[in-house]
């Protein structure tokens, strides 16, 4: 049984945070300033995950890209099946074009 890469990456990220936090909370200075220990553990965990978890992060990104590409293909197939094409005939009025004002050169000649 293969463990999903998302689960592996998530557990490793949690460990990268919880291990430094536990070690820092063993120190007497961080027992009183536990919020400071959480901030430092977050920074250490982020750094460790960027440096050491490149392969699991790439696997998760690859799996997400595959799922998104598969969903996009299904969406396009559904939309193509629903769309009968452009309507033509008397029930479809032509789109109105936006009437533009006079050009810049025309404005100068009118002002003088």
- Is there a domain that residue 108 lies in? no
Query: How sure is the predictor about 31, in pLDDT bands with cuts at 50, 70 and 90?
Result: confident
Q: Looking at the domain assignment, is residue 96 inside a domain?
A: no
Is residue 16 in some structural domain? yes
pLDDT value for 80: 67
Q: Place 69 in a pLDDT band, splitting at 50, 70 and 90.
A: confident
User: Can you state the angle between helices 34-52 and 54-82, rounded to 10 degrees?
Assistant: 80
Task: Indicate whether 94 belongs to any domain.
Answer: no
CA distances from 24 to 15, 47, 107 (A): 14, 16, 74
**Other CB atoms within 10 Å distance of the CB of residue 89:** 5
Which domain does 65 fall in, by range? 5-82
Residues 6+ apart with CB under 8 A from 24: 30, 37, 40, 41
60 or 108: which carries more pLDDT confidence?
Answer: 60
With respect to residue 60, please indicate whether it lies within any of the assigned structural domains.
yes
User: Is 68 contained in some domain?
Assistant: yes
Which pLDDT band holds residue 95 (cuts at 50, 70, 90)? Answer: low
For residues 4 and 78, the model is more confident at 4
Domain tally for the chain?
1
């Amino acid at each position: 049984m293969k463990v999903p890469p998302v689960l592996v990456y998530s557990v490793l990220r949690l460990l990268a945070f919880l291990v430094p936090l536990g070690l820092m909370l063993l120190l007497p200075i961080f027992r009183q300033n536990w919020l400071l220990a959480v901030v430092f553990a977050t920074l250490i965990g982020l750094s460790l995950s960027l440096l050491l978890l490149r392969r699991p992060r790439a696997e998760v990104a690859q799996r997400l890209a595959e799922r998104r590409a598969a969903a996009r293909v299904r969406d396009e197939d559904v939309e193509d099946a629903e769309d009968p094409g452009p309507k033509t005939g008397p029930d479809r009025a032509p789109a109105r074009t936006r009437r533009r004002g006079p050009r810049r050169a025309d404005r100068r000649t009118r002002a003088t």
